[in-house]
């Protein structure tokens, strides 16, 4: 149902990080809301918030605090009513939100796979132990070491353009970038070498944009309901239920992907040792209405399999 909203009295302030990809995602949310509710450009303000993770670019995320580094300042602005909604890449989100905030709106998932990106190497199958792999993701590092134990991996932080510049400068021979981010940025020339999920299972909720709001804000809740993509929400909830059981962060190499076929959901989860020497996986299917329990079951089985000292 379309809303009748006065352009003078109802400004929706959208909080986001300032990277080109984050701004694209914020604009995608804005455009969907505008279309769903007959809103104008003047009904929106995009507010850029610099997070700790954006400020510290020369250290591995796991060593300086993990996923919350990209969300803390944005969530503080939302709690203090400086913004009305926050737009996030769900793969960067901790599984627990502040008590007064909720994420119950998800945009349709983009391609969840990773892309192999290189100016020198044809593809993952051509990678050899003489090459240098650049990645800031502990998951990707562990997965590539599991496939090729003696390959050299170097730290490779920064936004998409920063990492592409590092490739040009020869800091590494190849890297991995999310297909979703490349497509949203229009960098389709870099999406020609996707990696199959059997070779590299994605990060939990990769390719999913989530919109966070204050629980008390019924007005915003009513607006967001019309742009929520239910199948994506079901997948995100299953994957993140698994992640919560495993207490996942940037310091733990965890991967997971849910796939929906009609009313059936299949969730595959994977945990790796940091050095890639061991990989534990589990998969479960069931009805989409049981998505939370499926996520928890996969998480609990993986947790039992790996024991206390796995990481």
pLDDT averaged per 10 residues, the chain (length 311):
50 95 97 97 95 58 58 93 97 91 98 96 91 93 95 88 91 96 94 95 98 97 98 98 82 93 97 94 98 97 88 69
Give 166's contacts (C-beta < 8 A, 6+ positions apart). 134, 156, 158, 172, 175
Give 56's contacts (C-beta < 8 A, 6+ positions apart). 64, 69
> Distance of alpha carbon 248 from its chain centroid, rounded?
13
The pTM for the full model equals 0.91
What is the SS3 assignment for 152?
A: strand
73-108 burial string, b = 16+ CB within 10 Å, else e? Answer: bbbebbeeeebbbbbbbbbbbbbeeeeebbbebbbe
Residue 215: DSSP 8-state: T
The residue behind tokens 């936004």 is: 159
Sign of CA dihedral 151, 154, 155, 159: negative
CATH superfamily of 230-311: Porphobilinogen deaminase, C-terminal domain (3.30.160.40)
Fold match, 114-190 / 230-311? no
Identify the pLDDT of residue 72.
87
If one counts every other C-beta atom within 10 angstroms of the C-beta of residue 244, the result is 16
Pick the CATH number of 1-109+208-228 from 1.25.40.10, 3.20.20.140, 3.40.50.1220, 3.40.190.10: 3.40.190.10
* pLDDT tens sequence across 227-255: 999 999 999 999 999 999 997 655 689 99
Q: How far apart are CA 220 and CA 18, in angstroms?
A: 23
Q: Report the catalytic residues.
A: 92
Q: How far apart are CA 245 and CA 247, in angstroms?
A: 5
Indicate the CATH number for domain 114-190.
3.40.190.10
Residue extents of the structural domains in the chain? 1-109+208-228, 114-190, 230-311
Cβ(147)–Cβ(72) below 8 Å: no
Cβ(161)–Cβ(185) below 8 Å: no
On the 0-12 / 13-18 / 19+ scale of CB atoms within 10 A, 129 is: exposed
Identify the pLDDT of residue 215.
97
Phi/psi of residue 162, nearest 5 degrees: -60, -40
Give 192's contacts (C-beta < 8 A, 6+ positions apart). none
Q: Tokens for 83? A: 């913004």
Measured in residues, the chain has a length of 311
Identify the pLDDT of residue 8.
40
């Amino acid at each position: 149902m379309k809303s009748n909203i006065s352009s003078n009295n109802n400004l929706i302030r959208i909080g986001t990080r300032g990277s080109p990809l984050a701004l694209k995602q914020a604009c995608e949310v804005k455009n969907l809301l505008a279309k769903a509710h007959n809103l104008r450009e003047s009904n929106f303000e995009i507010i850029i918030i610099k997070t700790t993770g954006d400020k510290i670019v020369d250290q591995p995320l796991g060593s300086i605090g993990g996923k919350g580094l990209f969300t803390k300042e944005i969530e503080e602005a939302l709690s203090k009513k400086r913004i009305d909604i926050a737009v996030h890449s769900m793969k960067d989100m901790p599984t627990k939100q502040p008590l007064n905030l909720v994420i119950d709106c998800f945009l349709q998932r983009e391609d969840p796979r990773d892309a192999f990106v290189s100016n020198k190497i044809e593809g993952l199958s051509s990678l050899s132990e003489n090459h240098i792999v650049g990645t800031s993701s502990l998951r990707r590092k562990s997965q590539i070491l599991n496939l090729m134990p003696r390959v050299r991996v170097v730290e490779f932080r920064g936004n998409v353009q920063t990492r592409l510049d590092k490739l040009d400068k020869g800091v590494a021979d190849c890297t991995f970038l999310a297909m979703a981010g490349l497509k949203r940025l229009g960098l389709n020339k870099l999406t020609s070498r996707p990696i199959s999920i059997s070779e590299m299972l994605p990060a939990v909720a990769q390719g999913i944009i989530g919109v966070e709001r204050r629980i008390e804000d019924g007005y915003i809740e009513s607006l967001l309901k019309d742009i929520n993509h239910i199948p994506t929400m079901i997948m995100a909830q299953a994957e993140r239920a698994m992640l919560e059981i495993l207490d996942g962060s940037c310091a733990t190499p965890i991967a997971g992907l849910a796939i929906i076929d009609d009313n059936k959901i299949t969730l595959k989860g994977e945990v790796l040792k940091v050095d890639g020497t061991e990989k534990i996986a589990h998969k479960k299917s069931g009805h989409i209405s049981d998505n939370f329990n499926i996520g928890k079951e996969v998480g609990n089985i993986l947790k039992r399999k790996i024991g206390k000292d796995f990481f």
